[in-house]
A and B are shown apart, each in its own frame.
Chain A
Amino acid sequence: MSNNVLSLNDLVVRYGSYEALHGVSVNFSGGCLGLLGANGAGKSSMLRSILGLIRPHSGKVSIFGQDVAKHGMQLRARIGYMPERDSFIGSISGVRGIAHLAQICGIPADDAMLRAHDVMHFVGLGEERYREVETYSVGMRQRYKLAAALAHDPDILFLDEPTNGLDPKSRERMLGLIERVTSEHNIHLVLASHLLPDVERLCDQVWVLDEGNLKQSATVAELTTAARGAKRVRVDYQQAQQFNDCAQNNNYIIIPGKHVGEFIVSRDEEIVTSPMMFELAEVAKTKLLGVHPAARSLEDAFLEALES
């Protein structure tokens, strides 16, 4: 049996003639995984096929080493899913709905009700737990979905855009809740989001999806420190070309930055230091306005992965 928490093997998902996922093969060994991709990249299709909500055209999905197609029912008791769209049991109170869903996962009725109260308090809906979910605001509904995903104590959480539609304060609160659950209770997390700061904050591993293809699978650390040893340099914009030419003549790898006069400067198998940059500016007879370590953000890595 594999030690991977989640394994996809040549997964193809089709909706009629449209192929949403083109043979994705990748493993997740545990921890917090971010599924990154623009809208329509195939994140939700991937999540729904992992959960058995849509039938993959071909390929295999395994969770905790067990084939979802064969052991899906047993696995679902260990999975917590928070869908992107609203999802709740209508015409009953929030706490009753969550207890009911926990019961379906095999928690005895009394314990299910106690846990429903607990998770409602945990997500900050203690005061509203007897209200029908129809009357909840957007932020409350997002927290309700998280509570429902947690009530039966899953071993892995699949969260589809959990901060959608939330104001900054509610978003911060939601991220805090997810962070606490995953870091303090050893619950694996698969977070599908197009919000890079959310993924950067919560996840240690990232899969980048684009038009149904897996573009990259790496740790967040690997992606953001890929430019380690390079320097982000700013020179007077009128002397930018001059600096560029001189750097190339001196065997530096130079990539233009976001603004005119900004460059990422690196050298093969050598760490670029600030004195080296001052020296280069002197040779190029240019005015150096700033030298900083060139750490990449996840956004840079994401865009680069898409372009590749």
Chain B
Amino acid sequence: MTFKAAEYQRYSGPRSGIPAWVPLAELTLSRGWKSKWVRRITSLSLMQGAVMMIIMYALNQVVPSWRELTQQIGVIAGGDSDDFVIDAGVYLVLLKLFVNPVLLPLSLLFGYDLISKDIETNALDAYFSRPISPLSYILGRSAAFVGFLMTATFGPMLLVWISDWATSSDTHFQQIAIVPFGMFWSLLLISVTLSLLVQAITTITKSGLWTNISFVFIFIVVSILANIIFAITGNSDVLALSILHNTGVVCEYALNEIPTNSQLFKSSPNVSIMVMLTTSLVSFLIVYRGLKRRTFLG
């Protein structure tokens, strides 16, 4: 094939068998990465993980028994020795540190105009006159979205965990063995829910600005509403209406660190997980229905 051909030429090369959602996922990733704030937050998140890894390595080189030392300092400070053990509890703090300041803003910045932009520019006609089905479209968009969120959050946390595990004794491994799997599934559930929710909102509002406003409304106003209903009814499961509350509960449940303090009102983990799964399902159906109106094939 010649470059800069002024004449039209028929294509004689092979056709690839790559599913149509793969190029869509690639494009979604590159489009998301174009956002300055997405790059900043992701870089900061990855740097945070890398810095923690370096600190842990350096500590291990300088003070090999720093974990025991931490416990002793804790006891001297008047605490219980269990409070200062580097175990899943520490990773829970870390997990929440990645979920709230990284995962939530990233999901909004990455996805606020994913579908609304395609509606605005009528790109959906271009897609659905080609061999891509609404399901493949959602798969392509969501795979990139979830993959990106996971890389920006689970990636650095896994780095920290690996460096912790690699520089510790076998007995320490027992304390943190649950962490990778727990972190993975909790972050996956939160990422899938957020990505589908953002896409559903953008499908309904058909506008990036209104997606942002609606997302913030859902997070803040519904959280306040959930607390008001809880104050009236006294049923802590009502708190599961708040996605923000659910992310916390899911993280605690995933790392088996559910607080025993009865003063901390939390919804039941099962209810929270159920609400998140339902949110995902309803969001998926909204997106699917919106796309299915534009093509009956696939």
CB distance from A151 to the nearest CB of B (A): 9
Q: Which of B16-24, B42-50, B95-103 contacts A (4 or more CB under 8 A)?
A: B16-24
Given A104-B20, A104-B132, A108-B16, verify A72-B8 contact (CB < 8 Å).
no
Interface 1/0 per residue, A52-78 and B, CB below 8 Å: 111100000000000011001110110
Interface size class of B (residues with CB under 8 A): 35 or more
Check if B27 is an interface residue, CB within 8 A of chain A: yes
Cβ B7 vs Cβ A122 within 8 A: yes
Q: Given A108-B13, A121-B5, are A100 and B27 neighbors across the interface (CB < 8 Å)?
A: yes
Which chain A residue shows the least CB distance to B129? A81
Residue pair B121, A121 in contact (C-beta under 8 Å): no
Shortest B286–chain A CB gap in Å is 20
Residue pair A89, B121 in contact (C-beta under 8 Å): yes
Q: Within 8 Å of chain A (Cβ to Cβ): is B232?
A: no
Interface-facing stretch out of B78-86, B187-195, B253-261, B290-298: B290-298
Considering the complex, give the chain B residue whose CB is closest to the CB of A184: B8
| CB proximity to B under 8 Å, residues A69-98 | 69, 72-74, 76-77, 79, 81, 83, 85-92
Structural contact, B14 and A108, CB atoms closer than 8 A: yes
Interface check B130, CB cutoff 8 A = yes
Given contacts A111-B13, A150-B8, A185-B8, contact A77 B118 (CB under 8 A): no
Q: How far is the CB of A240 from chain B (nearest CB, A)?
A: 53
Among B114-144, those with CB < 8 Å from A are 117-118, 120-123, 125-133
A5 located at the interface, meaning its Cβ lies under 8 Å from any Cβ of chain B in the complex: no
B24 nearest in chain A by CB position = A104
B36 close to A (CB within 8 Å): no
Contacts A53-B125, A73-B297, A92-B31: A101 and B8 contacting too (C-beta < 8 A)? no
- A86, A106, A108, A181: residue with the most chain B Cβ atoms closer than 10 Å: A106
B130 touches A90 (CB 8 A): no
Please tell me if the beta carbons of B129 and A51 are within 8 angstroms of each other in the complex: yes
Partner of A106, one of B4, B16, B34: B16
The answer to whether B126 and A148 touch across the interface, beta carbons within 8 angstroms, is yes
Residues on A with C-beta less than 8 A from B20 are 104
Q: Tell me whether chain B's interface is mostly helix, strand or loop, or mixed.
A: loop
Closest chain A CB from B285 CB (angstroms): 19
In the complex, how many angstroms separate the beta carbon of A165 from the nearest chain B beta carbon? 15
B63 → chain A, closest Cβ, in Å?
A: 50
Of A19-27, A112-120, A206-214, the stretch lying at the interface with chain B is A112-120
Q: Say whether A88 contacts B123, CB under 8 Å.
A: yes
Option from A91, A105, A126, A150 in Cβ contact (under 8 Å) with B130: A105
Indicate if the CB atoms of B27 and A122 lie closer than 8 Å: no
With A87-B123, A108-B13, A111-B13 known to touch, is A100 a contact of B23 (CB < 8 Å)?
Answer: yes
Q: Which residue of B lies closest to A147 (CB)?
A: B8
Quick check: is A180 within 8 A (CB to CB) of the other chain? yes
Name the one of B1, B13, B126, B129 contacting A89, with C-beta atoms under 8 angstroms: B126
- A79 x B129 contact (CB < 8 A): yes
Which one, A77, A91, A118, A184, contacts B5 given CB within 8 A? A118
With A69-B296, A83-B129 already in contact, 4 other A-B pairs whose C-beta atoms are closer than 8 Å: A81-B125, A118-B8, A119-B8, A180-B8
- Name 15 interchain pairs, CB-CB below 8 A, sorted by A: A52-B295, A52-B296, A52-B297, A53-B129, A53-B294, A76-B130, A85-B125, A89-B118, A90-B120, A91-B117, A100-B24, A111-B13, A115-B11, A119-B8, A185-B10
Residues on B lying within 8 angstroms of A by beta carbon are 1-11, 13-18, 20, 23-24, 27, 30-31, 34, 117-118, 120-123, 125-133, 294-298
